[in-house]
Homo-oligomer: A and B are copies of this chain.
C-alpha cells in the first residue's frame, strides 16, 4: 500500500475537552449536588478543573496506563474525573454502586485501582467494602469535606486536594488505542466482565453518535444524561454533548419525576435519555401534577424495550419524540437508534411511528450488524426471520479485560447474545435473549414478544415467559404473571386475552402467578425466575 500523508494526530478524550473549552468556552454545565444548591460552570472551567485532577494523579503517583476507580453519580465532579483521569492517560474504572458489595469490590480489585473516588452519600458502601479492597491505597470523597460515616478510613477531600493543584495541564498526546474507561457488565451469571474502552473508540463513538442519524445535537441543545455515568459512560452523552457544544445538565442521583421535571423546565432541557423505569416515573409525575414540558423535544430510551404506551404518551400528549436505542456495555454503547427516513415517511406518519416504536432502532455508521442461524449462515433481512445478533465495528469489544482470549469469532464479529430480526429499512428488532428463546417443535418462540402482549392484559403488572421442557415439542412457554397490587387476575382471563393476539402454537403451556424477580438494572431476572418456578412447582425449566 502507499501510505497516506496526513497528520498522525491521535483521537483522544482530551481533544473533545479542549475543543469544547476553545469553541464553546461559555456554554454551561449544571450539576445537581448532594445536599447543596445546583452547581454551575462552563466548558472552559471544566477544562481547568479537569487539569487539576490530572495534576493530582501525578501528585498521588498514579502513572499513565494505571487504573483508578470511581463510585460516582451524574455530577460535575464525576465528569471532571472522566476528562481529568482519561486525559492524563490513566484509565477510569467507573464502578457500579448498585451492584452487590462483593461485585463492587471484585471489579475494583480486578481493575487493580490504587485510588477510589466516591460520592459522600456512598461512604457507607465504601466502608463496608474497604476491608476487601486489595489494591486501593487512597480514598477520596467527591466533596469539600470528609464524611463522618467513613471515619474508620483515611479519607481525603477531593476539593481540598485539587485546590492545591495547578489548573494548567499540558494534555499529553499518546496512542489512541490506549485504554480510557473500564466498565464492567452486570451480567447475572458469573463475575462481572470488564470492557476497556480505548480513546479511539470513545472519540469515534462520540462523532458517530453526534450525527443526525443518532443523537444529532446542535449547539442549541440542552442535554441531560439520566443513564448513569457508570453505565457505558452514560451512553456517551458526556462526550457527544461537548463535541456539539450542547449545554450539559447533570441530575446527580435524583431521578424521581419531580427532580427531573425541575431540571428539565428550569434549565431548558431539550434532550434527555435513560431506562424506561425513569420515564414511567416522570410521566406519572406529569400526570399527577397536571403539568407539561415546555422545552423537552426528544427522549432517548434504552436498556430495555420501550413500552408502546410510553412512546405514544410522550408523543401525543406532550409532543416529545421518543428515540429507541439499543446497545450494550460491549458497544460503547451505541448499536442502533431509531430515526426517521424518507422511505419510512412516504408511508405516512402513523406507519412510520409504528416502525419506530416497535423496533430497537436503525443501522448506524460504525456499527455493522448481522443475524445468523444455528449454522452460522446469514438469515434474510426480511424483518421476520430471527437470528443470533452479531456486531462489528471500531467501538465494539474485541476482548474482555484480563481475559486470555478474544470475545469475537474468526471474522471479528461479537455475539451479542440477543436474538433479533433485521429488515430492508435497516431496522433491527430484538426478539429475545439467546438463552431465553423457546425452541418449540423446531421453531423459535420469542419470550419478549409473548411478554409484550401479555403485559397488556388488564391487571397485569409484569409478564415473564420461560421455557419448560416438553416431551413432544422439546420446549413450551410458561407464563409467569405478577398482577398489579390489589388486582385479581385469572389464568383463564390471561389465556382469553392472548388467544386472538398471538399464533396458536405460541399459547403458553401454563400460566402461574408469582412476584417476578428483577436484576439490579430493573430487567426480569430469568435465572432467578427459573429457580422460583422450579421450587414452587417442581418443574424443571429449560
A207: interface (CB < 8 Å): yes
Residue in B19, B198, B339 whose beta carbon sits within 8 Å of that of A6 in the complex:
B198
Indicate whether A1 sits within 8 Å of B174 (C-beta atoms), given known contacts A22-B363, A213-B219, A341-B219: yes
Q: Which 9 pairs, one residue from A and one from B, show the smallest C-beta to C-beta distance? A: A4-B198, A23-B363, A1-B178, A6-B201, A23-B426, A1-B65, A4-B179, A2-B179, A207-B207
Bound state CA distance, A27 and B180, in angstroms? 38
Give Cα distance in the complex from A395 to B342, angstroms: 31
Q: A4-B177, A179-B2, A392-B9 are in contact. Are A424 and B25 (CB under 8 A)?
A: yes
With A and B bound together, what is the CA distance between A65 and B8 in angstroms? 19
CB distance from A214 to the nearest CB of B (A): 10
A393 interface contact, C-beta 8 A? yes
Question: Do A179 and B1 form a contact, CB below 8 Å, given A7-B393, A207-B365, A244-B211?
Answer: yes
Q: Please choose the segment from A100-108, A397-405, A525-533 that sits at the chain B interface, where 4 or more of its residues have CB less than 8 A away.
A: A397-405
Q: Which of chain A's residues 354-410 have a Cβ closer than 8 Å to chain B?
A: 362-366, 368, 392-401, 408
Q: Does A302 contact B (CB under 8 A)?
A: no
Would A207 and B211 count as touching, CB distance under 8 A? yes
A73 interface contact, C-beta 8 A: no
Of all chain B residues, the one with the shortest Cβ separation from A381 is B22
Q: For residue A81, give the distance in angstroms from its CB to the closest CB of chain B.
A: 17
A3→B211 CA distance, assembly (Å): 27
Q: Say if the beta carbon of A493 comes within 8 Å of chain B.
A: no
A293 to chain B, nearest CB (A): 20
**Measured CA separation A332–B6 after assembly (Å):** 9
Q: Is the CB of A216 within 8 A of B207?
A: no
A368: chain B residues within 8 A (beta carbon): 18
Q: A208 in the interface, Cβ–Cβ < 8 Å? A: yes
Task: Judge whether A82 is part of the interface by a CB distance below 8 angstroms.
Answer: no
Closest to A206 in B: B365
Q: A5-B401, A216-B216 are in contact. List 10 more A-B contacts (CB 8 A).
A: A2-B178, A4-B179, A5-B397, A7-B397, A15-B365, A24-B426, A25-B424, A27-B342, A207-B208, A212-B218
Instruction: Write the nearest CB–CB distance from A89 to chain B, whole angstroms.
Output: 6
Complex: A19 Cα to B368 Cα, angstroms: 8
Find the residue from A1, A89, A195 having the highest chain B CB count within 10 A: A1
B residues less than 8 Å from A231 (CB atoms): none
Copy number in this complex? 2
CB distance from A431 to the nearest CB of B (A): 20
Closest to A210 in B: B211
- Point out the residues of chain B lying under 8 angstroms from A247, CB to CB: 342
Nearest CB of chain B from residue A9's CB, rounded to whole Å: 4
Distance in angstroms between the alpha carbons of A247 and B343 in the assembled complex: 12
CA distance A66 to B392 in the complex (A): 29
Q: Is A245 an interface residue (CB 8 A)?
A: yes
Main secondary structure of the interface of A (DSSP, over half): loop
Which partner residue on chain B sits nearest A393 by CB separation? B9
- CB-CB under 8 A from A196, the residues of chain B are 2, 4-6
Closest B residue by C-beta to A362? B23
CA distance A120 to B394 in the complex (A): 41
User: Chain B residues with Cβ under 8 A from A399's Cβ?
Assistant: 5
Q: 17 A-B pairs, CB-CB below 8 angstroms?
A: A1-B65, A1-B179, A4-B177, A4-B198, A4-B199, A6-B198, A6-B200, A6-B394, A6-B395, A11-B204, A16-B365, A18-B368, A24-B341, A207-B207, A212-B244, A213-B244, A243-B365
Q: Would you call A29 an interface residue if the criterion is a C-beta within 8 Å of the partner chain's C-beta atoms? A: no
Question: Is residue A480 contacting chain B, with contact meaning CB distance below 8 A?
Answer: no
Let me know if A192 is at the binding interface, CB within 8 A: no
**Which residues from chain B contact A178 at a C-beta distance below 8 Å?**
1-4
In the complex, A179 Cα to B26 Cα: how many Å?
Answer: 39
Indicate if the CB atoms of A175 and B25 lie closer than 8 Å. no
Contact B3 A179 (CB under 8 A): yes
In contact, A7 and B396 (Cβ under 8 angstroms)? yes
Residues of B close to A2: CB separation below 8 A: 65-67, 91, 178-179, 196
- Verify A213–B245 contact, CB threshold 8 A: yes
> Considering the chains assembled together, what is the distance between the CA atoms of A366 and B203 in angstroms?
10
Chain B residues lying within 8 Å of A542, measured Cβ to Cβ, are none
| CB neighbours of A365 from chain B (8 A) | 15-16, 19, 23, 207, 243
B216/A218 in contact, CB under 8 A: yes
Complex Cα distance, B201 from A244, in Å, reads 20
